[in-house]
C-alpha cells in the first residue's frame, strides 16, 4: 500500500460525562487555584506529575482490559454450562418418565411367580411369548436406567463446572472493579493537580494539547508498502479514526484506548486480536528493529508493554496515546515512550 501525505482530518472534542476526568488535560477548570504556593514557580513540576498520573492510568487501563476480557470469556462459559445443564435436565426428565412407564407396566403384569403362571396358563405358548416380551422390557428398562444414571452424572458435572466458573467470574469482576477504581483515582488526582494551576497556565496546557492533536492529524509518511493486504486494511481503518478521543477501556468505533484502536482496526480486516497491549505483543512475528517495520505492523512501547499502536511509516506511530489526546500520528522518537519491538501479522 502506497502512503503519501495524509490530508488534515477534522478533530473532535469529547465531552461525555463518563470521561470528563480523562479530558482533564484539555479542560479549563473554573475552580480557584490553590491558596498554597507551589515550590516550582513555573508549575512544571505539577505538569510532570499530571503526565505521570496519565501514564499510570493508561498502564492500569491495559490491566483493566485484560480483566474485562477474562470476565467476558467467563460469562460466556458460564452461559454455555448453564444451557447444557438445562438441556441435560430436560433429557433426564424424559428418561424418568419413560422409566416410570416401564415400571408401571411391569407392576401391572406381575403378581404370580413365572413358573406358576406357566403351569396355570391355558395357553402355554402365548404365555411364553409374553414372558419373552417381559424379559425384553426388563433389558430395555436396564438400558434406560444406565442411560439415566449416566445423564445424571453428566448433569452434576456441568453444574459443578458452572459453579466453578461463576466463582472465577465473581473474583474477576471484583478485580475489574478494583482496576476501575484505580484508574478513576489516577484521573481524579490529575484533575485535582490541574486545578491548582492558574487559569493562564491551564489555558496554555490546553492550547499545547490542541496543537499536538491538530499536528497529529497529518504526517509525512512516505510511500512504503504494508507487509500484507490485511495489515494494510487494518492500518487504513485506524487512519479513518484519526481525531477520535482517547477514552480508557474504549474499543471503538468513536473512542479508543491504545489497544482498543489496534484490536478494532484489525477486526475490520478480519483478524481477531487479544484485547491488551501485552497480549498483542505476543502475536505474529516479532520485529526487534525499527528499520524492519512497515506500515500496518504493530509497535509495542514501554518496558511493561503497556502501549501499542500502528507503525505508520517514516518513523511515525499512529496511536491513541493518553487521556485528553486524540487518535493521531506522532514521531516515535518524540513520543516519550521507549520502543520495545514490532509485531507483524500476515
Output the domain CATH number for residue 152: 1.10.287
165 and 277 together in one domain: no
- Give the residue from 321, 290, 318, 253 showing the smallest Cα distance to 59: 321
pLDDT of residue 340: 97
Contact between 230 and 345 under an 8 Å Cβ cutoff? The reply is yes
**12 in active site:** no
Identify whether residues 206 and 245 lie together within a single domain.
no
How confident is the model at residue 102, as a pLDDT?
A: 53
In this structure, is residue 283 part of a structural domain? yes
pLDDT at 44: 64
Confidence (pLDDT) at 15? 35
Q: Are residues 173 and 312 in the same domain?
A: no
For 270, the grid coordinates are: 478480519
- Low-confidence residues of the chain: pLDDT under 70: 1-44, 95, 98-145, 148
Task: Kindly state whether residue 95 falls inside one of the protein's structural domains.
Answer: yes
Is the same domain home to 179 and 204?
A: yes
Whether residues 254 and 199 share a domain: the answer is no
**Which 3 state secondary structure label does DSSP give 330?**
strand
Per-residue confidence (pLDDT) for residue 152, from 0 to 100: 75
Last residue of a domain, one of 158, 192, 215: 215
Q: What per-residue confidence (pLDDT) applies to 319?
A: 97
Boundaries of domain holding 68: 18-27+43-215
7, three cell numbers: 490530508
Check whether residue 282 and residue 181 sit in a common domain: no
Active site residue 307: yes
Does residue 4 carry a catalytic annotation? Answer: no
Structural domain count, the chain: 2
Q: What is the pLDDT of residue 14?
A: 36
Q: Is 5 within a domain?
A: no
Q: Are residues 90 and 133 in the same domain?
A: yes
Query: Is 35 domain-assigned?
Result: no
State which of 149, 180, 215 marks the end of a domain.
Answer: 215
- The answer to whether position 23 is within a domain reads yes
Would residue 89 count as lying in a domain?
yes
Exposure string over 215-248, b if 16+ CB within 10 A, otherwise e: ebbebebeebebbbebbbbbbbbbbebbbbbbbb
Q: Are residues 102 and 148 in the same domain?
A: yes
Domain check: are 157 and 22 in the same one? yes
Does 72 share its domain with 137?
yes
d(CA 195, CA 156): 58
Amino acid at each position: 500500500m502506497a502512503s503519501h501525505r495524509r490530508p488534515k482530518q477534522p478533530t473532535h472534542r469529547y465531552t461525555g460525562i463518563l470521561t470528563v476526568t480523562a479530558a482533564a488535560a484539555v479542560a479549563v477548570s473554573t475552580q480557584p487555584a490553590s491558596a498554597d504556593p507551589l515550590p516550582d514557580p513555573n508549575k512544571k513540576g505539577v505538569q510532570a506529575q499530571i503526565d505521570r498520573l496519565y501514564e499510570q492510568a493508561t498502564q492500569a487501563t491495559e490491566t483493566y482490559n485484560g480483566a474485562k476480557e477474562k470476565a467476558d470469556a467467563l460469562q460466556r462459559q458460564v452461559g454455555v454450562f448453564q444451557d447444557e445443564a438445562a438441556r441435560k435436565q430436560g433429557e433426564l426428565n424424559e428418561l424418568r418418565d419413560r422409566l416410570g412407564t416401564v415400571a408401571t407396566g411391569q407392576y401391572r403384569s406381575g403378581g404370580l411367580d413365572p413358573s406358576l403362571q406357566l403351569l396355570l396358563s391355558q395357553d402355554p405358548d402365548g404365555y411364553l411369548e409374553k414372558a419373552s416380551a417381559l424379559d425384553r422390557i426388563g433389558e430395555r428398562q436396564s438400558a434406560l436406567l444406565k442411560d439415566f444414571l449416566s445423564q445424571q452424572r453428566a448433569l452434576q458435572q456441568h453444574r459443578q463446572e458452572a459453579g466453578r466458573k461463576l466463582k472465577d467470574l465473581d473474583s474477576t469482576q471484583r478485580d475489574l472493579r478494583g482496576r476501575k477504581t484505580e484508574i478513576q483515582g489516577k484521573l481524579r488526582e490529575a484533575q485535582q493537580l490541574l486545578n491548582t494551576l492558574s487559569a493562564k497556565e491551564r489555558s496554555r496546557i490546553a492550547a499545547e494539547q490542541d496543537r499536538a492533536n491538530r499536528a497529529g492529524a497529518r504526517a509525512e509518511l512516505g510511500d512504503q508498502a504494508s507487509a500484507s493486504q490485511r495489515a494494510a486494511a487494518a492500518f487504513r481503518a485506524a487512519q479513518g479514526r484519526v481525531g477520535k478521543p482517547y477514552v480508557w477501556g474504549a474499543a471503538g468505533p468513536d473512542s479508543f484506548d491504545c489497544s482498543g484502536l489496534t484490536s478494532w482496526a484489525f477486526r475490520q480486516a478480519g483478524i481477531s486480536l487479544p484485547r491488551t497491549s501485552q497480549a498483542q505483543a505476543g502475536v505474529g512475528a516479532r520485529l526487534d528493529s525499527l528499520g524492519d517495520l512497515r506500515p500496518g505492523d504493530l509497535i509495542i512501547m514501554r518496558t511493561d508493554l503497556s502501549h501499542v499502536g500502528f507503525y505508520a511509516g517514516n518513523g511515525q506511530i499512529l496511536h491513541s496515546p493518553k487521556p485528553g489526546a486524540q487518535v493521531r500520528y506522532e514521531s516515535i522518537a518524540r513520543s516519550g515512550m521507549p520502543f520495545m519491538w514490532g509485531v507483524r501479522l500476515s
